[in-house]
Each structure stands twice: as structure tokens, then as C-alpha cells.
């Protein structure tokens, strides 16, 4: 397991605050209320370790298959339905949404290999990630990857807690299935917009792993 580069600053700040607060607390109360100092030490250490774990990149064997769409993120499938995309396709698409809790791995991975033909950031609200309106009203970053005649839109969506979306793609860039394309800090969701009629391989409420779980099979 390694730590994502997006976490270096957050982990450093959290560690510094942890050390300063505990040193001050032990200095002020160490002689009279030592038990309170130890309780605070344990709780604050747990918080620091949680922040470290949030930025983890676990070692895993990625699924590579040209005929399949792979999960772009860890989390739970919360939407499988037809929708009308007004941003790029301007027609009906099959939407699969994955909700990412703060406990999930937050690296986002390319669901297929191909060329980035669209990449756009949108300012917006911070509705809870499971709100249906979050797909179109929240802060988000949309990218379309094209492979042959197939185009798949991947949408990173900020939520009530997640306030920073990192996206590393550029239009014209060639990407490989399973490689990292972004990161969302502190929980949110990722939407996939697929061609109508695509065979879906997951079910509602299924827990998926980014870069591993097969979301759909291309016809």
C-alpha cells in the first residue's frame, strides 16, 4: 500500500496539529488529569490514522479487458437507470452511479482505454451525493473517453463533504484502462454514462472496487 500524492499536505497538517495539541494538553493537564490527556491522545491519533487511510492506494490486480467497462471508483452502486444527458451526448444514456463513502479508496481509474475527447469542470452546489440532482447541479468534472465507436462519459461529483475534485485528464490524451485519472477528497460519487443497451454486470447496492469490478460488457 502507498499514499496518494494528494494526501501529503493534508497528512502533514493533521500530524502537526496532533503533535501541537497533545503537547499543549500534556503540558497543561499532565500532572493533574493525565487520564484525559491519554483519552485525547488515543482519539486524536485515531483521527490522524483515518486521514492517512483515506489517501491509501492498496495494491490490487487490475482487470484489463477491451470488451468490458471497469469500475472507475470504489463504493456502492446506487443508480442503474436510463437518463437523458444534456451535457455532451444530448440523448438517452444508461447511467451507473457509484457512491463513495469517506472510508472508501478514493483513487479514480479509467473504465476503458481510449482517447479523451471531452474534459470539462463545472462549478455547482454541494448536495448530498445520493440526491438525484447532484449529477447535474453539484460541482463536477466530466470526461468522455472514446474507443472506436464507443464513447463513455465519466463524471466525478462533489458531495456535501467532498469539496475538492482532482482530474488529471486532457483532451487528446491517450489513456489506458485501469490507470489513474483523478481523485475526490473525502467522499462523493462517480457516474458512468454508457450507450443504451449496454449489458450491465452489477446490481443495485453492490459494492465494487475501482479498476477491478466489471461494471458492463460492450456489445
| Residues 89 and 117 sit within 8 Å (Cβ to Cβ) | no
113 is catalytic: no
CA 131 → CA 17, 97, 107, 176, 182, distances in Å?
A: 34, 11, 22, 31, 22
Instruction: Order the strands of the 180-185 sheet from edge to edge.
Output: 107-109, 180-185, 164-167
3-state DSSP assignment of residue 14 = helix
Q: Which residues of 52-78 are buried (b: 16+ CB within 10 A; e: fewer)?
A: eebbebeeeeeeeeeebbbbbbbbbbb
Grid coordinates given for 169: 485528464
3-state DSSP assignment of residue 36 = helix
Catalytic entry in 31, 142, 188, 219: 188
Q: Pick from 163, 95, 153, 152: which is nearest to 129 by CA? A: 163
| Residues 186 and 126 sit within 8 Å (Cβ to Cβ) | no
Query: Which residues carry out catalysis?
Result: 188
Amino acid at each position: 500500500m502507498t499514499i496518494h500524492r494528494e494526501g501529503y499536505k493534508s497528512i502533514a497538517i493533521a500530524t502537526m496539529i496532533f503533535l501541537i495539541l497533545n503537547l499543549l494538553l500534556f503540558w497543561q493537564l499532565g500532572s493533574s488529569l493525565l487520564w484525559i490527556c491519554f483519552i485525547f491522545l488515543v482519539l486524536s491519533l485515531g483521527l490522524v490514522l483515518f486521514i492517512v487511510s483515506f489517501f491509501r492506494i492498496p495494491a490490487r490486480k487490475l482487470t484489463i479487458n477491451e470488451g468490458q467497462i471497469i469500475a472507475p471508483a470504489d463504493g456502492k452502486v446506487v443508480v442503474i437507470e436510463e437518463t437523458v444527458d444534456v451535457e455532451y451526448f444530448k440523448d438517452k444514456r444508461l447511467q451507473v452511479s457509484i457512491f463513495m463513502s469517506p472510508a472508501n479508496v478514493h483513487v479514480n481509474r479509467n473504465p476503458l482505454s481510449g482517447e479523451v475527447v471531452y474534459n470539462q469542470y463545472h462549478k455547482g452546489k454541494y448536495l448530498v451525493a445520493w440526491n438525484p440532482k447532484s449529477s447535474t447541479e453539484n460541482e463536477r468534472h466530466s470526461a468522455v473517453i472514446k474507443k472506436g465507436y464507443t464513447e463513455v462519459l465519466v463524471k466525478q461529483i462533489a458531495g456535501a463533504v467532498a469539496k475538492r475534485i482532482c482530474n488529471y485528464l486532457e483532451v487528446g490524451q491517450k489513456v489506458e484502462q485501469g490507470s489513474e485519472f483523478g481523485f475526490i477528497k473525502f467522499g462523493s460519487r462517480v457516474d458512468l454514462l454508457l450507450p443504451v443497451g449496454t449489458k450491465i454486470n452489477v446490481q443495485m447496492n453492490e459494492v465494487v472496487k475501482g479498476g477491478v469490478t466489471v461494471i458492463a460488457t460492450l456489445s
